[in-house]
Amino acid sequence: MTKLEEKTLRSEEIFSGKIISLHLQDVELPNGKQGKREIIKHPGAVAVLAVTDDKKIVMVEQFRKALERTIVEIPAGKLEKGEEPALCARRELEEETGYECESLELLTSFYTSPGFADEIVHVYLATGLTKKENAAALDEDEFVNLEELTLDEAEQYVKEQKIYDAKTIFAIQYLQLQEALKNK
Amino acid sequence: MTKLEEKTLRSEEIFSGKIISLHLQDVELPNGKQGKREIIKHPGAVAVLAVTDDKKIVMVEQFRKALERTIVEIPAGKLEKGEEPALCARRELEEETGYECESLELLTSFYTSPGFADEIVHVYLATGLTKKENAAALDEDEFVNLEELTLDEAEQYVKEQKIYDAKTIFAIQYLQLQEALKNK
């Protein structure tokens, strides 16, 4: 077994923003040589696979500046400082879609880009949905269109690359797996 | 339907590194107001779900400086400039594991963190594996331990958070789905 750990020799914060910060590190590699690492720190995020009583998946279409295009995603948002992920999931679901949920279950958590970022996403399943009368508002720089898709429609969106991100493709595959297990 | 597009008013490159670059943008939001976006540009990556003839999943344990820990992942690596993703997949598989594959099939592509990064990962299924005698070497700052896991073992690794990243959790769920569909 190769030794794998890398020791930080020097770390410099190059940028600290609203969402991310960038750190450059000099490290000692397992073989004793030196290397450089570019690290993005992120507060972490939640995503919510919300399924209505009539089996529609609640999605939001959103313009993603990093991609210079809109994509359709399950509702998601970053954790506020000290915020409990399950509370964040309920908050983001309400803000982005107007839905409250009775039941919230953690499906998985994953790092999105371990090669350069510490962002983790906690993916929840939300059921028992009801529309809230006076739902909390979106952030002032957030704009979304609500879409409610059947699983077939969602699979079609993946083929058409309207759905194109890791958390949403994971969520759709999760539902495909549940269907397959149910029909066994 | 709300208009969603955001227009770039100004874009500044704050940092350009070996793996990522960081850009700060002033944008015009759909409502005419101004906002700021923090954008990471990344060349994109491939990941390879490589399954041996006796149904073992080929994984690599790797120290991830961004996470300050090792995790176990399917082999992956970033695209070189102009590199065709399928060729990159074969190259990374050989470099990280010593395996060549007969068959390579694109399973999906996804953006990992559309909120702030343009990184896309192309996930391939590789089968017909054979160990190569004089396999290409790892990058000079790359150190990995090879692991070959059954699907049950991989599921256990997910529970223990040894496997903890989006592409690998997607890949395992893909195999679970294939199993469930086969047994129907």
Task: Answer yes or no: do B65 and A40 touch at CB < 8 A.
Answer: no
Task: Answer yes or no: do B30 and A1 touch at CB < 8 A.
Answer: no
User: How many whole angstroms separate alpha carbon B81 and alpha carbon A66?
Assistant: 19
Q: pLDDT at position B138, please?
A: 84
Q: Give the count of Cβ contacts less than 8 A between chain A and B.
A: 211
Asked if B12 is an active-site residue, the reply is: no
From residue B46, how far is each of A66, B23, B55, B91, B164 by CA, in Å? 19, 23, 21, 10, 17
Residues A88, A94, A99: CA angle, nearest 5 degrees: 130
- Residue B17 contacts by C-beta under 8 Å, 6 or more apart in sequence? A24, A36, A38
ipTM score of complex: 0.96
Summarised one tens digit per residue, pLDDT across range A68-117 is 999 999 999 999 999 999 999 999 999 999 999 999 999 999 999 999 99
User: How many whole angstroms separate alpha carbon A82 and alpha carbon A54?
Assistant: 35
Q: pLDDT at position B120, please?
A: 98
Residue in this structure with the two tokens 């874009």, named with its chain if needed: B11
Q: Please give the mean pLDDT across all residues of chain B.
A: 96
- Residue B47 contacts by C-beta under 8 Å, 6 or more apart in sequence? B73, B74, B75, B76, B89, B121, B122, B123, B124, B167, B168, B171
The answer on pLDDT for B184 being more than 80 is no
The answer on pLDDT for A135 being more than 90 is no
Predicted TM-score (pTM) of the model is 0.96
Chosen for mutation from B141, B158, B159, B178 (greatest number of chain A CBs closer than 10 Å) is B141
When comparing pLDDT for B51 and A183, which is higher?
Answer: B51
> pLDDT category, B157, cuts 50, 70, 90?
very high
